[in-house]
Structure 1
Amino acid sequence: MIGEWFWKIADPLLLRLRSRLEHLDDVRPSTRREDALRQAGAIAPTVRLLPEGSLSNLAARDRLAIGDYTNVRGEVRVLTPDASIRIGRDCYIGPQTRIWAADGITIGDYVLIAHGVDILDHDSHSLRADQRREEARDLFERRVEIDFTHVSMRRIVIEDDVWIGAKSTILKGVHIGRGAIVSAGTMVTKDVEAFTLVAGNPMRVVRQLEP
């Protein structure tokens, strides 16, 4: 074992080499499950799919994209052939978080999403009872996916540097501006301006934030 005294007098090239080797030592080998999940979309090689995370995609492979160094511990699902989910680099998706798209969800870079967050760009079911009855038959009797033709949906956009607190809900059509913070347990049904702190149900603006 080389002592720390050696590194204090070592050549800068050796120091850079040491740093690189330590980085490689930190790289965790992928599992078969993780390799299989990566086939669901255009997943950057440096993305970490943790054991509690899952990916599902009913659209073309390139319609589910996750950028470099993002950590996925939640559930990311593209629910229809026309839907898409785009997640940027250096993001965190916490455990028990659900990001479900029937239309489209775009998440920027450096976005932190805590545990138990729901991000849903659709109503999940029709507002009409007769159509919900058919959905139930599809799911439980016919064992087929829900037909989203009668389900209301609108795209969600979450810009760079947003922080979403635990057990918040982001509903269809919402646009959250850069650097905004959504406090834990907030129900977001309308747009949030950039660098704004919001909280509550119904959501209210708490204050503006420094860029």
Structure 2
Amino acid sequence: MNLNFLIQRLTGRNADYLVQRMVGRATCRLDAGSVLGVSARIRNICGDTDKIAIGAQSQILGELMTFAHGGEIRIGEWCFVGEGTRIWSAASIEIGKPGSDLSFSEYLRQSDPSDRGGRAACAGP
């Protein structure tokens, strides 16, 4: 049993998320019922917690990151971001809409719309 798993079981929170909050770093805004899994990583380098928002009942197992010069990530309600998924934003990314069901699984990368016309690109191992 690893420490991350133990912290998740005892507190119901992601260990990385708790450490980031304890040292005063920006993380994300979690709506009611949203979950950060053990493997989830939030890297909010731009320093504004409101720049990464996760909608109600969504589950995050992958990585969400904004860059220092800007970036914004909005995950809608009832969305799933699987383990191994990396969503990095230098401008703005919105996934799902309120009330939508959407899932990203392993090896899917979402880039800013300006990079690839707003399409998600699949990349294998």
The alignment's TM-score, normalised by the length of structure 2, stands at: 0.70
Find the aligned partners of 1:37 and 1:91 in 2 and give their Cα distance.
Answer: 23
1:50 maps onto 2:29 in alignment: no
Find the aligned partners of 1:61 and 1:43 in 2 and give their Cα distance.
Answer: 10
CA apart distance, 1:31: 3.5
Cα 1:92–1:32, aligned 2, differ >3 Å: closer, same or farther? closer
Instruction: Indicate the residue corresponding to 1:174 in structure 2.
Output: 118
Instruction: Indicate the residue corresponding to 1:23 in structure 2.
Output: none
Q: Secondary structure at the match of 1:100?
A: strand
1:62 maps onto 2:44 in alignment: no
Structure 1: 5+ residue stretches without partners: 1-27, 122-152, 155-170, 177-181, 187-211
After superposition, the CA RMSD in angstroms is: 2.8
Instruction: Indicate the residue corresponding to 1:73 in structure 2.
Output: 61
Instruction: Indicate the residue corresponding to 1:15 in structure 2.
Output: none
Find the aligned partners of 1:36 and 1:105 in 2 and give their Cα distance.
Answer: 25
Find the aligned partners of 1:95 and 1:31 in 2 and give their Cα distance.
Answer: 16
Question: Which of 87, 95, 113 pairs up with 2:83?
Answer: 95
Instruction: Indicate the residue corresponding to 2:105 in structure 1.
Output: 114
The alignment's TM-score, normalised by the length of structure 1, stands at: 0.44
Q: Is the 8 A contact 1:37 1:54 kept in 2?
A: no
Q: How does 1:7-86 map to 2 (within 5 A)?
A: 29-31=11-13, 33=15, 34-36=17-19, 40-59=27-46, 60-86=48-74
Residue deviations 1:18-55 (CA, integer Å, cap 9, x gap): xxxxxxxxxx8423624446750111242111111111
Q: Is the 8 A contact 2:86 2:109 kept in 1?
A: yes
Q: Match for 2:118: what amino acid?
A: V
Q: Secondary structure at the match of 1:106?
A: strand
Cα 1:32–1:111, aligned 2, differ >3 Å: closer, same or farther? closer
Q: Match for 2:117: what amino acid?
A: G
Find the aligned partners of 1:85 and 1:118 in 2 and give their Cα distance.
Answer: 13
Find the aligned partners of 1:95 and 1:76 in 2 and give their Cα distance.
Answer: 11
Find the aligned partners of 2:85 and 2:11 in 1 and give their Cα distance.
Answer: 24
Q: Percent identity?
A: 24
Q: Number of residue pairs matched? A: 106
Stretches of 4+ moved more than 2 A in 1?
A: 34-39
Instruction: Indicate the residue corresponding to 1:165 in structure 2.
Output: none
